[in-house]
Chains A and B, each alone.
Chain A
Amino acid sequence: MWNLKTEQKKYHTATKSRLLVARGGEKPGGCDMAGKPKLHYMNGRLRMEPIRWLLAAAGVEFEEQFLESPEDLEKLRNDGVLMFQQVPMVEIDGMKLAQTRAILNYIAAKHNLYGTDIKERALIDMYSEGIADLYEMILRLPLCPPDEQDAKMTQIRERTTNRYFPAFEKVLKSHGQHYLVGNRLSKADIHLVELIYQVEEIDPSLLANFPLLKALKTRISNLPPVKKFLQPGSQRKPPIDAKAVKAAREIFKI
């Protein structure tokens, strides 16, 4: 049966052996996987923000290279570093990883935020995907044509109140534990708390009937690496404004 800890141990052992051989028997100093992850995206939330949150929650320092023009994106494409010519792309542990889910799953697995077995991972995935669906609606809102925005807002409110938040409140109520899965912090908690912050920015009253979600938000926000990330001056990005929408349209041609 596939076991994450065993897999990670095997991987780390294999890496150490490879490095030892490569350095002619020299003991590898420090981290086997040298260098900070480097994030390639525009200077805004959009599709990179969940990655920033997860890295921050895992206590991982990261660098960012911002795309500021369509030419910056063209350059990355011409350099052949974007598998599908798209960002987000994260340089991490010798890989040039594209696709948000691939990046998030790797970070989560590497930093023990993905449960302890495949069943826990299944729950984490199911919850994360539900979160992603609502997140996507919120993400698209500023990019919506003005005459569609009201309808879109109504849909977001409805889905939050009737579908997504009740589902997660129910999970927390069902086991009474401090985290969504396995009585232990996982990516699902981080993604959900990020989503809660987003929903509150839209309409704080939407949280009113969800006391366990509010408690989760407080608890996670108080974890030292998350607390640090929530402070001004961190790499957390502000809500998207008209300027950022303009930049996104220009760079991504949307």
Chain B
Amino acid sequence: LFSKDGSLMFQQVPMVEIDGMKLAQTRAILNYIAAKYNLYGKDIKERALIDMYSEGMADLNEMILHLPLCPPHEKDAKMTQIREKTTNRYFPAFEKVLKSHGQHYLVGNRLSRADIHLVELIYYVEEIDPSLMAIFPLLKALKTRISNLPPVKKFLQPGSQRKPPVDAKALEEARKIVNK
């Protein structure tokens, strides 16, 4: 239906109706929300760091997102790749950032979208394999700190709009809607 009434610029979802716009494309939506609510740093250099960190997180998130869509015979290889990239590439990079300045947030000593995206990612990684967090104490501390922020704490409670992990039923629904 939405495809035909012209609400989707590229005939795709996600789409968010916000402030009179029909915004499509995940990054466009995220960038707008972050800028509007002061979660995007205080200048263009801070924004560059936030973008760089967020893009790295998006790369790992993409692998995790695709895992349930993987054909069964490819799943093991995909899991190994996720474990390897988490442990050797992405988590060390973010642990290093936190260690380098010793501050409570990734950028500019202040909450930004990068912290939110990272904590969300940490939750997903823990759902896959909690042991992957073992050697990243600063990431664990960040996760705890962000999870205790009142709005985040509320979101993490049952009954919020947070969605559960993808299961077979959700996958079937998704396939039907996007016609894959």
Bound together? yes
The interface centre, meaning the residue of B36, B40, B55 with most chain A CB atoms within 10 A of its CB, is B55
Q: How far is the CB of A130 from chain B (nearest CB, A)?
A: 5
Residue of B nearest to A11 (CB): B43
Known: A105-B51, A106-B51, A122-B28. A2 touches B40 (CB 8 A): yes
Answer yes or no: A121 CB below 8 A from chain B CBs: yes
Mostly, the B contact residues are: helix
The answer on a CB contact under 8 Å between B35 and A105 is no
Residue of B nearest to A7 (CB): B43
The answer on a CB contact under 8 Å between A129 and B28 is yes
Answer yes or no: A10 CB below 8 A from chain B CBs: yes
Size of chain B's interface in residues, with CB distance under 8 A?
34
Contacts of B44 in A (CB 8 A): 7-8, 11, 106, 109-110
Which of A16-24, A91-99, A218-226 lines the interface with chain B?
A: A91-99
Q: How far is the CB of A181 from chain B (nearest CB, A)?
A: 12
Known: A99-B55, A101-B55. A11 touches B36 (CB 8 A): no
Contacts of A98 in B (CB 8 A): 52, 56
Chain A contacts to B: CB under 8 angstroms: 2, 7-8, 10-11, 14, 83-85, 93, 95, 97-103, 105-106, 109-110, 118-119, 121-123, 125-126, 128-130, 133, 163-164, 167
Chain B contacts to A: CB under 8 angstroms: 9-11, 19, 21, 23-29, 31-32, 35-36, 38, 40, 42-45, 47-49, 51-52, 54-56, 59, 89-90, 93
